[in-house]
């Protein structure tokens, strides 16, 4: 049913639907950020589900919490993972999005790891 991101034409700009909805309901997204839905549904346009995310690729920085070789997470990513979880995204969806293991995501969300990150 849902093939992917809705695309809306605005003049000559092709915007993805989530960016369009964010602009319409919330405002201009900060430069260098992209809009995604916290519920992880690609076509979701509910304003309360729209979240901004940094556009740059996920950093590969190794920090505390990175004892697990799969962990290549930054403080920012950890905060983002917790925000997604709070927004109702599933552990599995978050793990896929951040290219880490579900166990890792679960530990982060339950604050078993990265306990120093608010
Ligand atoms: Zn949604």
Cα 97–83–9 angle (5° rounding)? 65
Q: Is the pTM of this model over 0.95?
A: no
pLDDT tens sequence across 11-29: 555 567 888 888 888 888 7
> Structure tokens of 90?
């599933």
> Structure tokens of 70?
């799969």
Q: Distance from the CA of 97 to the center of ligand 1, in angstroms?
A: 16
Q: Distance from the CA of 106 to the center of ligand 1, in angstroms?
A: 21
- Rounded to 5 degrees, φ, ψ at 100 are -135, 180
Q: Distance from the CA of 32 to the center of ligand 1, in angstroms?
A: 22
Contact 95, 101 (CB under 8 A): yes
Q: Distance from the CA of 69 to the center of ligand 1, in angstroms?
A: 32
pLDDT of residue 13: 55
Dihedral in degrees, nearest 10, Cα atoms 5, 57, 46, 31: -110
Residue whose structure tokens are 């962990």: 71
pLDDT, block means (10 residues), the chain with 118 residues: 57 69 83 80 81 63 46 80 93 88 91 83
Q: Distance from the CA of 73 to the center of ligand 1, in angstroms?
A: 25
pLDDT of residue 100: 84
Q: Distance from the CA of 2 to the center of ligand 1, in angstroms?
A: 13
pLDDT of residue 5: 61
Spatial separation of the C-alpha atoms in residues 118 and 111, rounded to whole Å: 9
């Amino acid at each position: 049913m849902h093939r992917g991101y809705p695309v809306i034409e605005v003049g000559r700009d092709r915007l993805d639907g989530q960016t369009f909805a964010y602009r319409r309901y919330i405002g201009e997204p900060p430069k260098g950020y992209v809009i995604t839905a916290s519920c992880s549904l690609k076509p979701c346009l509910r304003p309360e589900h729209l979240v901004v995310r940094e556009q740059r690729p996920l950093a590969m920085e190794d920090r505390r919490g990175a004892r697990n070789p799969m962990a290549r997470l930054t403080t920012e990513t950890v905060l983002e993972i917790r925000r997604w979880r709070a927004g109702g995204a599933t552990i599995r969806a978050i793990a896929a999005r951040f290219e880490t293991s579900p166990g890792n995501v679960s530990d982060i969300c339950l604050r078993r790891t990265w306990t120093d990150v608010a």
